[in-house]
Amino acid sequence: MDMRYTVSDKEDLTMSRQTKQHSQQFKQDAVKYVQEHPDLTLVECAKNLGIGLSTLSRWRQQCADNGGAVPTRGSGNYASDEAKEIARLKRKLRDAEDALDVLKKAISILGKD
């Protein structure tokens, strides 16, 4: 029995993890909700908000550590169009370098015959 996988087989085998981006306002409102409902457990609050327990716990901890504000990553927020273009070009360069490394490895494997 041949157990080799093609690239598409490997993609099917791995679980893609979908992450939902919540706004800073939602995070702060969620922490406030927990504080305003002391009769509810943290699990119940998380369920009512439609988020995971660990997520809510992390936001509460971040809020406590940062003086009442929950920090956000700010993905995609660039100071200028130039900064956005630089980030795009860096990603493109990284992808090209990765492709080059794969090709080099393939050549070295095929060249051993």
**How far lies 31's CA from each of 37, 65, 94, in Å?**
10, 13, 38
What are the tokens at 16?
A: 């893609």
Q: For 59-110, what is each residue's pLDDT tens digit?
A: 999 888 887 777 766 556 677 788 888 989 999 999 999 999 999 999 998 9
Q: For 5-50, what is each residue's pLDDT tens digit?
A: 454 444 444 444 566 778 888 888 999 999 999 999 999 999 999 9
Q: Which pTM does this prediction carry?
A: 0.49
Which amino acid is it at 76?
A: G
Residue 1 has pLDDT above 50, yes or no: no
Q: Report the pLDDT value the prediction gives residue 73, as an integer from 0 to 100.
A: 60
Burial class for 92, CB neighbours closer than 10 Å (0-12, 13-18, 19+): exposed
Q: Report the pLDDT value the prediction gives residue 23, as an integer from 0 to 100.
A: 82
CATH class of the domain at 21-75: mainly alpha
Residue 62 and residue 39: Cα distance in Å, rounded? 22
| Domain definitions of the chain by residue range | 21-75, 76-113
